[in-house]
Amino acid sequence: MLASCANAETGESAPAVTAEAAPFTTSEVATFEEPWAIAFAPGTSVLFVTEKAGAVKFIDTATGTAGTVSGVPAVAYGGQGGLGDIAFLPAEASDKLSGRTIYLSWAEMGENDTRGAALGKGTLVCASATACTIEGLSVIWRQTPKVTGRGHYSHRIAVSPDGKYLYIASGERQKMQPAQDIATTLGKIVRLNLDGTPAAGNPMAEKGGVTAEIWSLGHRNILGMDWDAKGRLWEVEHGPAGGDELNLVKPGANYGWPLRSNGEHYNGDPIPDHTADDGFAQPAAIWNPVIAPGDLLFYSGSMFKGWKDRALIAGLGSQALVEVAFDGESAREVTRYDFAKRLRSLAQGPDGAIWVAEDGKGGRLLKLTAR
């Protein structure tokens, strides 16, 4: 049932644990059309769900009451593009939904068939238990530059533990080389103030322009970011053919893409592997074959005592929930729970239950509770 440390380092697949042998029971709560992100409004039992084609919905997990959100932006839907992540500010935790800040990310059209990720900020206003709207939604950040293609937007949002900053995953849009170009924000993690401006103290703040936004670089397609109990930011990203990575994110660090990867190009062309002396930040764990990560969550609840301070990764291609343990700055996969469905997003509920959104049309919203 357990994968060794070598599994994480070499990328060997861990044996999958069936649902019957897992430490949780699974219940289906609702279904959605291509759910992409799920997040609880802090202080409430209300879970918000973004759907890729451009809808935001919610469900009160305590009562089962469901509702919709209007005032959502138009999105560039297609390929990997559409409505993305959703985030709230922990400092605004309240038992009332209305009046709190809401952040959304999405794929946005540009000129000449180009696209790029955008981040918007607005105020959530709820007229009833089943209807909310986003007032004053405005774009506060854009991926630079917009390029052709419909892949690798990333656009995950992580609010810092102190509530002062936004960390945005900005994929390299399948263009590779811009991940090493500090004149772009492609293939980067950016750190912003809550209004979308570059945060003071960023590693290249003195250079100005979009370079001042950069926190780390050399990323491919980040689809999960979260904070551990020590306040450290981690991310999980897709490799090419092989080489999915879990990384501890450090300011100014370069994670090597496309110059280093433990995978290879889809046409079989080799890419030099990460080595200790290559000058790049080293992944904490790699997977080959890939797990195709959809999201990352550090567990901080009490319902699953064995998961405390461990990470859970939603697997798309692997169709599994991947459990990861940590030792300092290294990580290892310990267990893989088979769901036989592509898993897109994760959230921890107020009671410590884990919520899982499946990927695709008719994706189910599942609640995992301890046996």
Active site members: 152
Indicate the residue type of 128: S
307-314 — which CB contacts under 8 Å span 24+ positions?
309/228, 309/229, 310/334, 311/226, 311/228, 311/234, 311/246, 312/346, 312/354, 313/224, 313/236, 313/246, 314/224, 314/343, 314/344, 314/345, 314/346, 314/356
Residue 91 tokens read as 């400092």
> How many CB atoms within 10 Å of residue 21?
11
Q: In which element (H, E) is residue 76 found?
A: none
Place of tokens 């656009």: 155
> How many CB atoms within 10 Å of residue 130?
12
Instruction: Catalogue the E-assigned strands of 95-220.
Output: 101-109, 115-128, 131-142, 154-159, 165-170, 188-193, 214-217
173 close to 186: Cβ distance less than 8 angstroms: yes
How far apart are the C-alpha atoms of 26 and 22, rounded to whole Å?
10
179 close to 186: Cβ distance less than 8 angstroms: yes
